[in-house]
Structure 1
Amino acid sequence: MTESPLSGPRPHPYAHFVPTLNKLRSGSADTTTPSALRRLRVVLTVFFALDGFIFAGWVVRIPAIKEQTGASSSALGLALLGVSVGAVVTMVFTGRLCRRFGSHPVTVVCAVLLSLSVALPPLTHSAMALAAVLLVFGAAYGGINVAFNSAAVDLVAALRRPIMPSFHAAFSLGGMVGAGLGGLIAGSLSPTTHLLGLTLIGLLVTAVAGPALLRLAPPAAPTGQPDKATGPRRLDSRTRRLVLIFGFIALCTAFGEGALADWGALHLEQDLNAHPGLAAAGYSAFALAMTLGRLSGTTLLERLGQTPIIVAGGATAAAGMLLGALAPTVWLALAGFLVTGLGLANLFPVAVERAGALAGPSGVATASTLGYGGMLLGPPAIGFMADWFTLPVALTSVAVLAGVAGVIGYATRR
């Protein structure tokens, strides 16, 4: 296709018909108009929220699944490693799938798989069987996270605004609702009934939002930027290092999110004698703080920039997690979870967005693999440390890694 009058001297005489022809060929709606971009933002937000809702619904039932399987802390940690392995392996390949088939179809397919697989854990009665079904759940979880983050990076570039935190706010809001609902029904519904309900909700939402997403083509790259759909970009060593740095920041911060998701309720119930419903509210409080922090993330990034957000966020999360892990009462621990959520809120979306801006879907896949790898490998690590020491001591590792993320952000500020 020839260049436009703004970028080259000789436009093709039929160039203005090309977008229409492409639209007719693909069956997708044009996403160059503001209204189409707004629709795409809404649909992607729905999928982010659904992901958080389903994941939180699973994690608040972990104590019940642990009791059902009779697993020790270390055996449960190994079973949870199934989520990690499935997610990380899938993330490695999802960037390529997004390049070949598009991030929107991959998002829809993974949403269906995620909805179906969340019903499997209550059907198991051993740690080995639990690990096997969590492998499937983790594969779907990892795939959808790379796919819709890639789609979100394209939209951020098209809008030229740092709106990535708003998508992750939807994930946190979904997690808050899922955890809150799980806490309310934990004493009245079995895990089997609860998680089967999540399957039905997930399939219903995907049936409504999926066709809408498939009708919207990914936005074209802004003028002056390379088109990521044309193929993988050859990255120089400096760009690769930056992508890995952003991925490591994501790892350090997502470690805390995974630890609180899988072990926060157990810490409150086991170490502080909280009622199961109140224990489930621990992750809900954390997710609420993440949501509020991310809802303000775009404004904060526009006013302060990335480095202050990373440094201040890492320091705040470190202080909050020390309180949450070592507090002698439930209410102080909940306050610590809130502060931790506020600190971690915008670190992961900033890291993933920057990696995607540098390297397209491959950058998103790399940063997501490291980041969600930290989220999903963290819980098994916490389990082993809890057996070696105690669960409160194990949770202080979250504070350490949050502080490391802040230091890295300051050291690489230029």
Structure 2
Amino acid sequence: MPTLNKTWTAASGMPPSVTTDRDLARLRAALTVFFALDGFVFAGWVARIPEIKEQTGASEGALGLALLCVSAGAAATMMATGRLCRRFGSHTTTVAAAALFALSVALPPLTHSVLALGLVLLVFGTGFGGLNVAMNSAAVDLIAALRRPIMPSFHAAFSLGGVIGAGLGGLIADHLSPVRHLALLAAVGLVLTVVAGRALISLPAPAPKQKTPKQKTTEQKAPKQKTTETPSTSPERPKAARRLVAVFGLIALCTAYGEGAMADWAALHLHQDLDASAGLAAAGYSVFALAMTVGRLSGTALVERLGRTRTLVLGGSTASAGMLLGSLAPTIWAALLGFAVTGLGLANIFPVAIARAGALTGPGGVAAASTLGYVGMLLGPPTIGFLADWLSLSAALTTVAALAAVSAVIAYGTRNAARATGS
């Protein structure tokens, strides 16, 4: 029988926690599956956007409004999901949201008008937003237990799922209709939810790793400063933590705007502006997602080596340069190179920002930062769509580079406040 910790975990509100190494490994594996499922299903939907656009007869502006519903559904759900995680636990909430997300991906190809597409994308966005908050909250608990910055590895699984989903979408785009493709995707998603969900629900949220006797002895020998409040008792700490959560949410906003833009518009940019075939256009998001996967697989080592602030600054700067190339390049291959550089730059910004928010205030921090992050996705589709109608799609995509640069500036400007709160 596993050893139970008799304390409640701050981030999930769950009862006694399993802390054995074997159970922590099982928990990490189950969460990895859910992150991969998230990217796999979402990328499969993205690969069929051009055909669904034609099916509904939507203009670029109208498609932007319909795509807005994904982000609207996600943003409207996220804060409520934080409360559900505290009430029912992040593990149960993750499984329920994943089931809704997998089922709803089969709905978009059944629509034949922009209005109907927008309505079903609200449902799709609800599942997507709920799953992201719940599984990230569960990941924050695991990070606290392991005391390692492993959040990028989970988001690497998301990106790898995106690579597989987009790659399969490109391969079968000429052989399967969107209806059959996305119905198959829904079935695969449900199977993965059942398999990984059984393991996840069977394991309570882990408690943070206890301090070693050596650490306790060192703390006991350290002199106490009676005239200075400790971080745990200072009334300013909760306010400072909430302000930092908002800042990390703003950083997430800037980068989620870019990720959403690549998901929604990369294929259309290659197909429409650079005359790429349907299969090659679908590969645009695959290249981006593959680069993000590579960046995130090395993310834990990068954060441990450079620190969180430098990782954020370097990532934002790299993504800005890459997206300028990707959006303005005159050839398909140069654009794909730009997409790859953008993926490397954006790779670790969102996971680091969300992990830092969760470390500060638990599921509430994850929900708040994620909600602000998905405001970026909320603004991205219509903004790029309207700018594309007014100027051009390539010019509209340069806004991704601008916001990536803004995220780097914000991260650098908050380095001292983040250090003071221990985030």
- TM-score, structure 1 length as denominator? 0.90
In structure 2, what is the equivalent of residue 348 of structure 1? Answer: 350
SS of residue in 2 equivalent to 1:328 = coil
2:159 and 2:44 map into 1 onto residues whose CA distance is 12
Out of 143, 167, 184, the residue aligned to residue 180 of structure 1 is 167
How big is the shift at 1:187?
1.0
Post-superposition CA distance 1:383-409 (Å, at most 9, x none): 111111110000000000000001111
Unpaired runs of 5+ residues, structure 2, are 9-13, 212-234, 417-423
Out of 42, 60, 63, the residue aligned to residue 73 of structure 1 is 60
Post-superposition CA distance 1:219-267 (Å, at most 9, x none): 023448xxxxxxxx99732111100000000110111000000000000
Out of 91, 99, 106, the residue aligned to residue 93 of structure 2 is 106
How big is the shift at 1:336?
0.1
Counterpart mapping for 1:112-131 below 5 A: 112-131=99-118
1:221 and 1:310 map into 2 onto residues whose CA distance is 25
Q: Percent identity?
A: 68
Provide closer, same or farther for how the CA distance between residues 221 and 29 of structure 1 changes in structure 2, counting only shifts above 3 A: closer
SS of residue in 1 equivalent to 2:18 = coil
Instruction: Assess if the C-alpha contact under 8 Å between 1:235 and 1:359 holds in 2.
Output: no
2:242 and 2:17 map into 1 onto residues whose CA distance is 33
In structure 2, what is the equivalent of residue 380 of structure 1? Answer: 382
Out of 291, 299, 305, the residue aligned to residue 301 of structure 2 is 299
1:322 and 1:33 map into 2 onto residues whose CA distance is 47
1:37 and 1:147 map into 2 onto residues whose CA distance is 17
In structure 2, what is the equivalent of residue 230 of structure 1? Answer: none
How big is the shift at 1:28?
9.7
Post-superposition CA distance 1:22-80 (Å, at most 9, x none): 9xxxx999620111101100000000000000000001100000000000011111111
1:235 and 1:108 map into 2 onto residues whose CA distance is 33
In structure 2, what is the equivalent of residue 11 of structure 1? Answer: none
In structure 1, what is the equivalent of residue 403 of structure 2? Answer: 401
Aligned residue identity for 1:52: G
1:132 and 1:163 map into 2 onto residues whose CA distance is 36
Aligned residue identity for 1:394: A
SS of residue in 2 equivalent to 1:108 = helix
2:57 and 2:352 map into 1 onto residues whose CA distance is 40
Out of 338, 341, 353, the residue aligned to residue 340 of structure 2 is 338
2:271 and 2:282 map into 1 onto residues whose CA distance is 9
Aligned length: 388
1:55 aligns with 2:42: yes
Instruction: Assess if the C-alpha contact under 8 Å between 1:87 and 1:373 holds in 2.
Output: no
1:131 and 1:220 map into 2 onto residues whose CA distance is 41
Out of 79, 87, 108, the residue aligned to residue 92 of structure 1 is 79
2:86 and 2:295 map into 1 onto residues whose CA distance is 32
How big is the shift at 1:316?
0.5
More displaced 10-residue stretch of structure 1: 155-164 or 213-222 = 213-222
SS of residue in 2 equivalent to 1:119 = coil
Out of 234, 240, 245, the residue aligned to residue 238 of structure 1 is 240
1:90 and 1:222 map into 2 onto residues whose CA distance is 31
Counterpart mapping for 1:179-258 below 5 A: 179-223=166-210, 236-258=238-260
1:17 and 1:249 map into 2 onto residues whose CA distance is 39
In structure 2, what is the equivalent of residue 154 of structure 1? Answer: 141
SS of residue in 2 equivalent to 1:335 = helix
In structure 1, what is the equivalent of residue 330 of structure 2? Answer: 328
2:241 and 2:202 map into 1 onto residues whose CA distance is 33
More displaced 10-residue stretch of structure 1: 107-116 or 236-245 = 236-245
Instruction: Assess if the C-alpha contact under 8 Å between 2:77 and 2:129 holds in 1.
Output: yes
Instruction: Assess if the C-alpha contact under 8 Å between 1:28 and 1:215 holds in 2.
Output: no
In structure 1, what is the equivalent of residue 120 of structure 2? Answer: 133
Aligned residue identity for 2:70: V
Provide closer, same or farther for how the CA distance between residues 270 and 393 of structure 1 changes in structure 2, counting only shifts above 3 A: same
In structure 2, what is the equivalent of residue 361 of structure 1? Answer: 363
Aligned residue identity for 1:217: P
Instruction: Assess if the C-alpha contact under 8 Å between 1:28 and 1:214 holds in 2.
Output: no
Instruction: Assess if the C-alpha contact under 8 Å between 2:312 and 2:349 holds in 1.
Output: yes
Instruction: Assess if the C-alpha contact under 8 Å between 2:49 and 2:264 holds in 1.
Output: yes
More displaced 10-residue stretch of structure 1: 267-276 or 308-317 = 308-317
How big is the shift at 1:375?
2.8
2:98 and 2:6 map into 1 onto residues whose CA distance is 30
- TM-score, structure 2 length as denominator? 0.89
Instruction: Assess if the C-alpha contact under 8 Å between 1:29 and 1:216 holds in 2.
Output: no
Out of 284, 287, 292, the residue aligned to residue 282 of structure 1 is 284
Instruction: Assess if the C-alpha contact under 8 Å between 2:7 and 2:17 holds in 1.
Output: no
Instruction: Assess if the C-alpha contact under 8 Å between 1:252 and 1:371 holds in 2.
Output: yes
Aligned residue identity for 1:139: T
How big is the shift at 1:282?
0.4
